[in-house]
Amino acid sequence: MKIAITGAAGLMGQNLIARLKRRGGYDIVAFDKHPSNTKILRELHPEITVVEADLAERGNWSAALDGVESVVVGHAQIGGLVEDEFTRNNLIATERLLEAVSARNDLNLVHISSSVVNSAAVDWYTESKKAQEALVLSTGIPCVVLRPTLMFGWFDRKHLGWLARFMAKAPVFPVPGHGRYLRQPLYVGDFCEIIMTCLNRKIEGAQYNISGQERIDYIDLIHLVRRASGAKAPVVKVPYAAFWAMLKVYGLVDKDPPFTTKQLEALVTPDVFEVIDWPGIFGVRATPLKEAMEETFRDPHYSSIVLEF
């Protein structure tokens, strides 16, 4: 099966390609615009086709879709300090991709949306992901929509991976406020198995909320990451206002910070996402959270590879 993956050098894409190769039987075309991360992708998987291109720009990259049966739409701007980046990377790039897909017959999509489309939060990421999903559904191209919650796993450059790396270097690890913010983390390995089921069955015409099966408070999640990664930094609670101010100042120094004030505000938004029986629907084992953490941080090969922002 010839498939294309956009955002292929990011967290989801890198994990998906590793697992597709392990299973075998796929001809993979990988799209991404990040030079350093596409370099990592090529080094890890020299036998696949890697197209380094900005999908927001029309170009000859679309020729790489010839002969493709399914496209995994995985590109996304998740964090950032400039609204235009979310518009460009989540909306304009998707519009251009859909133009190219529409020009070819018998193509179906696996669209990677996000649980934030059901969130009470209002921010650039949430609003652009809502608009992106609506755009995909409006085309009439056969597709299935998957809405994952916060993902973690190998190659995690933001989220839990960044937190673990910060813990390894910092004398203390700060947690905003009381830290009792409900999280439903999703192991990217399980999510990739769901995507592969969608590809093999050519599932279409449905939207699925793919939430982590285990609920955990943020501060307890941090302690779990600390144990799994072997970090020694003590976890210290910091008043929310002070934490927000620190992120604001950091954002003045780093123009592409791994964690922003808007993401902090989303963290404390009291969302509870639907938990469906995706293990039964897709025939996928839900890896227990503790086991998934150990696989993430103790893998002898992939856990040492860090993507760039």
Q: What is the pLDDT of residues 70-127, one digit of tens each?
A: 999 999 998 777 899 999 999 999 999 999 999 998 899 999 999 999 887 788 999 9
- Over residues 183-236, the pLDDT tens digits come to 899 999 999 999 999 999 999 999 999 999 999 999 999 999 999 999 999 999
- Over residues 132-173, the pLDDT tens digits come to 999 999 999 999 999 999 899 999 877 788 888 888 888 999
Which string of DSSP letters, residue by residue, matches 50-105?
Answer: EEE--TTS-SGGGGGGTT--EEEE-----S-S-HHHHIIIIIIHHHHHHHHHHTSS
Q: Collapse the DSSP code of 31 into the 3-class scheme (helix H, G, I; strand E, B; otherwise coil) and give the result.
A: strand
Q: In Å, how far are 8, 32, 110, 112, 309 from 86, measured between CA atoms?
A: 18, 16, 20, 15, 15
Q: Are 96 and 86 in contact (CB under 8 A)?
A: no
Which string of DSSP letters, residue by residue, matches 274-286?
Answer: ----HHHHHT---
Q: Are 240 and 268 in contact (CB under 8 A)?
A: yes
Beta bridge partners of 236: 174
- Tell me the average pLDDT of the chain: 92
Q: pLDDT value at position 308?
A: 73
Q: Which amino acid is at 143?
A: C
pTM above 0.85, yes or no: yes
Burial class (CB in 10 A: 0-12, 13-18, 19+), 18: middle
Burial per residue of 221-246, b for 16 or more beta-carbon CB atoms within 10 angstroms, e otherwise: bbbbbbebbebeeebeebeeeebbee
Number of residues assigned to the chain: 309
Unique residue bearing structure tokens 């100042």: 249
Unique residue bearing structure tokens 């916060």: 150
Reference 234, options 290, 167, 163; nearest CA is 167
